[in-house]
């Protein structure tokens, strides 16, 4: 939704729908009607922004088929929804039984990543409503830690050229929001700022994921200072929360975090001992340095995790810094892990998922209201 800030500034808030598994154009349209629209009605707002995940097969299909694009636009309009951002981080197969480090593939050193993101940009520029000045696409932080950085930088430069060509042709700007993640080639927003400044393309910016920043212990003041010093745009903030194990030497706390150990996604762990090992490796290791900060996106409206804690408190300072910017970034709640939460916390059905997403958005909207942001 569009929120009014001081000085005639606005900010857009929505939800990231990589929580849904479909990878065809028809599946995306179905999700809009089946889940995204009901979330808007559950929130009781007239218009709601969404951050779609359009996997590479669906992106190719939509680019090739104008009728499919019209069906998607019509489905969004019928449900009172608008698209202002896309999640271009997962290329495809994000809901396979085992994703893990494959989420970083293909890297920016590979042509497939560039071509996919250009497809998304072409789709987004067509989907953007008139009252959204520019769109954003979040993406992988170059790739895995082993990526060829020079080749990845060349891929980003090629993408930037493509985004400039789109802007020249359409008058609409799309920003690439590079999202650092623990264990990847770029772990911190400050590292993203350095890479983007070296390339020097105005369409390249950063995605600040609150969960990731908390796991690597990068506070709001430091990360926004790094972006300002490098003159790099914060294009997107993903509102998300990580888990904390206060004392991993406590057997009960280790058992509590073990309940979140699941085989699909990476759940990197940072501790006083350093490293970014996956949760099952951390549980099997002797590293008991306190506390553990665990990359497991948990619903932001929930802060009751028994013996565990969350990093939810780190969201507020990031939001405050973001909405204070002259040109605020897009805000997108991102909890893609609903289906892999421990059974007692997992939605029982689609109605439960819709309710949970709406609760997350309502919580985030309340935090924005505390900062003076009001619905347009």
Contact indicator for 109, 148 with CB cutoff of 8 Å: yes
Helices (H), the chain: 25-31, 37-43, 56-64, 66-78, 111-127, 149-170, 189-199, 210-215, 220-230, 251-258, 279-284, 315-323, 350-370
Question: What is the predicted pLDDT for the residue at 288?
Answer: 66
Rg of the chain, C-alpha, whole Å: 19
Per-residue pLDDT of the chain (376 residues; tens, 9 = 90+): 999 999 989 999 999 999 999 999 999 999 999 999 999 999 999 999 999 999 999 999 999 999 999 999 999 999 999 999 999 999 999 999 999 999 999 999 999 999 999 999 999 999 999 989 899 999 999 999 999 999 999 999 999 999 999 999 999 999 999 999 999 999 999 999 999 999 999 999 999 999 999 999 999 999 999 999 999 999 999 999 999 999 999 999 999 999 999 999 999 999 877 777 899 999 998 666 789 999 999 999 999 999 999 999 999 999 999 999 999 999 999 999 999 999 999 999 999 999 999 999 999 999 999 999 999 8
Q: How far apart are CA 376 and CA 2, in angstroms?
A: 6
Ramachandran region, residue 231 (left: φ > 0; alpha: ψ -120 to 50; beta: rest): left
Give the residue from 96, 191, 180 showing the smallest Cα distance to 144: 180
Could you tell me the domains of the chain?
Answer: 2-240+312-375 (3.20.20.150)
Question: What is the predicted pLDDT for the residue at 276?
Answer: 72
Give the residue from 7, 45, 138 showing the smallest Cα distance to 358: 45
Question: What is the predicted pLDDT for the residue at 287?
Answer: 66
Question: What is the predicted pLDDT for the residue at 272?
Answer: 78
Contact indicator for 20, 26 with CB cutoff of 8 Å: no
pTM over 0.95: yes
- CB atoms under 10 Å from CB of 93, counted, come to 17
């Amino acid at each position: 939704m569009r929120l009014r800030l001081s000085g005639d500034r606005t900010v857009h808030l929505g939800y990231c729908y990589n929580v849904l598994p479909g990878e065809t154009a028809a599946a995306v349209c179905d999700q809009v009607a089946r889940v995204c629209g009901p979330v808007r009605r559950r929130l009781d707002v007239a218009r709601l922004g969404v951050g779609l995940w359009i996997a590479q097969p669906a992106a190719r299909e939509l680019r090739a088929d104008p009728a499919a694009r019209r069906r998607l636009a019509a489905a969004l309009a019928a449900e009172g929804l608008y698209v202002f951002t896309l999640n271009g981080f997962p290329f495809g197969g994000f809901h396979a039984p085992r994703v893990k480090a494959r989420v970083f593939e293909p890297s920016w050193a590979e042509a497939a990543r560039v071509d996919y993101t250009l497809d998304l940009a072409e789709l987004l520029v067509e989907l953007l409503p008139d009252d959204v000045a520019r769109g954003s696409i979040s993406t992988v932080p170059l790739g895995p830690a082993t990526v060829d950085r020079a080749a990845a930088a060349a891929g980003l430069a090629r993408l930037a050229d493509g985004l400039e060509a789109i802007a020249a042709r359409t008058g609409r700007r799309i920003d690439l929001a590079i999202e650092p993640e623990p264990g990847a080639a770029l772990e911190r927003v400050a590292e993203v700022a350095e890479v983007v400044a070296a390339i020097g393309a105005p369409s390249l910016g950063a995605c600040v994921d609150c969960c990731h920043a908390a796991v690597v212990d990068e506070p709001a003041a430091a990360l926004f200072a790094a972006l300002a010093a490098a003159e790099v745009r914060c294009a997107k903030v993903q509102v998300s929360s990580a888990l904390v194990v206060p004392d991993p030497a406590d057997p009960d706390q280790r058992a509590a975090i073990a309940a979140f150990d699941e085989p699909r996604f990476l759940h990197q762990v940072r501790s006083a001992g350093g490293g970014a090992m996956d949760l099952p490796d951390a549980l099997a290791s002797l590293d008991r340095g306190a506390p553990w900060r665990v990359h497991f996106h948990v619903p932001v409206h929930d802060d009751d995790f028994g013996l565990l804690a969350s990093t939810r408190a780190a969201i507020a300072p990031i939001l405050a810094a973001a909405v204070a910017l002259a040109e605020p970034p897009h805000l997108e709640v991102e909890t893609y892990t609903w289906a892999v939460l421990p059974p007692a916390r997992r939605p029982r059905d689609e109605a439960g998922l819709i309710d949970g997403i709406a609760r997350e958005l309502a919580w985030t909207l309340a935090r924005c209201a505390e900062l003076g942001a009001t619905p347009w």
